[in-house]
Structure 1
Amino acid sequence: MKITKDLSRKQEIYNNDGANASMLKVFLTDGTLANVLYRLASFFSRFKILFPLAFLSQWLNKLLHGCVIGVNSKFDDGFVLAHPIGVVINSKVVGGKNITLESSVVIGDEKGKSPTLGDNIFIGAGAKIIGGIKVGNNVNIGANAVVVKDVPDNVTVVGIPARIIKKDS
């Protein structure tokens, strides 16, 4: 089940930061309920009869956390909303494994095309990823960066528009 993998990854992130987080701490931290509501909306959206519950879950996320995540967006295991306030994600967005978002991130549509995200991505606070672009694997996107072009694997991007400042091997 994706939500258990999401929560385990959040615990792993906290432990790597020296927090020695118990699962109880993970449940009580910012973003966990928003993540659960997103996964519920995503689950319910797969069944026509349950589709109203998908929109209810999405509405609760907006009301409680100030974030809007499209019910048809797809993120693989390890999706973590570190701070959900202001997060907006289009319904057509597809993301890989181990994606972490900070607050006020926008991943949006432009001219009917939405971004595709690879695996192991960190997206800093206020970053924007717009249009039918591809973000590679093992990418860090700096705070307030505006990504409007494809991003290759193993890099860090910052700025407006985003540019590569670091290449990892």
Structure 2
Amino acid sequence: MFDNVTAYLDSIKARDPAPRSRWEVLLYPGVWAVFYHRIAHWLFEAKLFFLARLVNHFSRMVTAIDIHPGATIGKNFFIDHGFTVIGETAEIGDNVTLYQCVTLGGTNPTNGVRGKRHPTLKDNVIIGSGAQIIGPITVGERARVGANAVVTDDVPDGATMIGIKARSTLVPAEEWIKEFIPYGTPCEDADGNKVDCFAKMESEMANLRAEIRDLRDRLDGPAQRSGTDS
């Protein structure tokens, strides 16, 4: 058990440059929220629902993180800072990172059936601060969701989602993001060079404009010759 706790704390240190030691990590509200959730989930599975809710209520008061006792959470789950809400039927894989003010929310079961209402996050997912992941959707392995994005559809493995409603970026994350990227924001390309996403988009737009001008010139040429012949 001690080895498991040590490995968990080390996994957080690897993702967060702020703590100088494991002892600092032990003071993180996200660590305590996960600890209390393990207890609450065990009680929930034993159908001791009131006691599970009681543990959940206490955890919410001391950590500002609300994890429903029914949520299923894998290994090395890290909530950075807090103010996060995770719903009852949410499923979270291994090595998942959530930043502050994230909601894994549910949809309204209008047909009266409780069922699966909350998202599933696969292994190594990173959710940026303020993001809202809504409904029984799946966020694929190594996917990243940017800050304040609203995701209501399935996310492919390795994709980077931004905006409201969230859409995939032009950055080919599925090809080159293999390691942990803080806040889900890539700063280097596969060769270690700095990436300016806006510069890349402007370059691509310039290329598209040049292609459009070339096509117009080709279309205007026959039209002008036809006018001259007449």
TM-score over 0.5 (shorter chain): yes
Structure 1 partner of 2:128:
124
Structure 2 partner of 1:40:
39
Following superposition of structure 1 onto structure 2, how do residues 16-95 of structure 1 map, counting pairs within 5 Å? Answer: 17-19=16-18, 21-48=20-47, 50-85=48-83, 87-95=84-92
Structure 2 unpaired stretches of 5+:
110-116, 176-230
Matched, 1:134 2:138: yes
Deviation per residue, 1:52-100 (Å, 9 max, x gap): 3311110012211222111111011111111222x11110111111111
Q: Structure 1 vs Structure 2: percent identity of aligned residues? A: 35
Aligned partners of 1:133 and 1:148 also within 8 Å: yes
Structure 1 unpaired stretches of 5+:
none
SS in structure 2 of the partner of residue 144 of structure 1: coil
Residue type of the partner of 2:127?
I
1:97/1:108 Cα in 2 relative to 1: closer, same or farther (>3 Å)? same
Residue type of the partner of 2:36?
L
- Using the size of structure 2 for normalisation, the TM-score is 0.65
Deviation per residue, 1:17-41 (Å, 9 max, x gap): 5457432121123422122112211
Cα distance in 2 for residues equivalent to 1:33 and 1:77? 14
Aligned partners of 1:124 and 1:144 also within 8 Å: yes
- Using the size of structure 1 for normalisation, the TM-score is 0.87
Cα distance in 2 for residues equivalent to 1:17 and 1:136? 22
Cα distance in 2 for residues equivalent to 1:14 and 1:134? 27
Of structures 1 and 2, the one scoring higher in RCO (CA 8 A, sep 6+) is 1
Residue type of the partner of 1:126?
G
Structure 1 partner of 2:167:
163
Cα distance in 1 for residues equivalent to 2:129 and 2:5? 19
SS in structure 1 of the partner of residue 45 of structure 2: coil
1:6/1:94 Cα in 2 relative to 1: closer, same or farther (>3 Å)? farther
Cα distance in 1 for residues equivalent to 2:6 and 2:38? 11
Q: CA RMSD for the aligned pairs?
A: 2.2
1:120/1:7 Cα in 2 relative to 1: closer, same or farther (>3 Å)? farther
The structure with the largest strand share of the pair is 1
